[in-house]
Each structure stands twice: as structure tokens, then as C-alpha cells.
Amino acid sequence: MKSVNAGLVIAHGRSNDMRNPLVRRVGEAAASAGLWALRFNFRYVDAKSKASWKLTAEVDDLLGAIRFARKECPGLPIFAAGKSMGARVCALASVDGDVAGMIALGYPLHPRFRPEVKDPPEWPKIVKPALFVQGDQDPFCDLDRLRAEMPRLTQPHELVVIRNAGHSFEPRGAKRDTFPEVRNATLSWIAHQVAKPAATA
């Protein structure tokens, strides 16, 4: 059995839950790679309600999961990954001292097909190393707009583009499984962060 060297908490998107196939597969891949991995539901899922307006409740939920991970993984870096809305929640929560870095899987930078809309309010909150994994045909994230915004980030950041893929990395054109690309990008980035002395500080 591989020794655990980091924790990963994975947040789902607005219209699904922790059983979402992408969220589930990320968790399984992380665990297989030797990470301590946790998926969870935001409270509105069990309440059969909607996400809070400014995602304040969702940030609290994520930080609760992070605190649990911290108890289970003392002394290890804890990373937060999120799909779509979950990525926004990770951005807002990245100011917390227990978050070593964030991974955005399909970041919703703007409303569908409207890249001209103003900057997302959580963008200045991203104060930890960040990985963005994006489909190049994601209607919620124009890549030119994303690339223009990324220099505003104050910490190391990386963008991995999944070709011919949509918002949930569903393939466009030829049928294929895009998940290996998502998995490899995510796990490679975490391994790189863990190898840095600052990641365990």
C-alpha cells in the first residue's frame, strides 16, 4: 500500500452531487495514487434546496471537509479540487491556511457563451497555487479570456487544456474518454506541489 503524502478534498458542481462521475473518478484516481481523498455533498443537496447566493454556505461546507481532512492527515498538505461551481467555492476557500492549493475542473469564468461579463468576484481570493483544467469548447470559460485573467493571480498557476472537450470534459467530435487527461494533469500537478518545500510548510 502506498504511503499517503497529501490530502485531496473534491467539491461537486451546482446541479449534481458527490456521485457525479467526474467527481467520483477523480476521488478514486487520487486514492489509487496514494492520496487521502474525500468527496462530500454541499448541504443544499441533502436539503433539496439551492446553492446560497454568494456561496457562503458552500465555503463553510468545504472548510468543514478541509478541517476533517486536516485531522485525518496531520502535517500533510491538503488540496481542494472543484468541478464548475465547486471550483468557485475552492477559489473562495483558498485563503484558508489549511488549503495548500486549488484545482479547478471546468472553471465557470463567465455565464454561458458570455465572456464579456465582468470579472468573477472570487478571483482575487485565489491566493494559493492553482491548476485550471479546461475543455477548449467550454461555453462557461472562454480560453482567451481565461488566459488574459491569469496574470492577475499572485501565486504560481497552470492551465491544462483538454482538446475537443466541453464543460464537463465531454468529448466533442470523435468519441473518446477524456478522463485520463484530466487525471494525469491533476495528479501530476499535486505531485509537483507536494515536492516543493513550501507545500509542507
CATH number for position 79: 3.40.50.1820
Write out pLDDT tens, residues 144-194.
999 998 998 999 999 999 999 999 999 998 889 999 999 999 999 999 999
Q: Is residue 181 part of a domain?
A: yes
What is the model's pLDDT at position 194? 95
Give the closest residue to 91 by CA, choosing from 144, 41, 152, 43. 152
**C-alpha grid cell for residue 31?**
486514492
Domains: count for the chain: 1
Spell out, as residue ranges, where the chain has pLDDT lower than 50.
1, 199-201
What is the model's pLDDT at position 53? 78
Residues with Cβ within 8 Å of residue 185, at least 6 apart in sequence: 131, 133, 160
What is the model's pLDDT at position 116? 67
Q: Is residue 1 part of a domain?
A: no
pTM (two decimals): 0.92
Q: Is residue 2 part of a domain?
A: no
Q: Is residue 201 part of a domain?
A: no
The domain of 176 spans 7-196
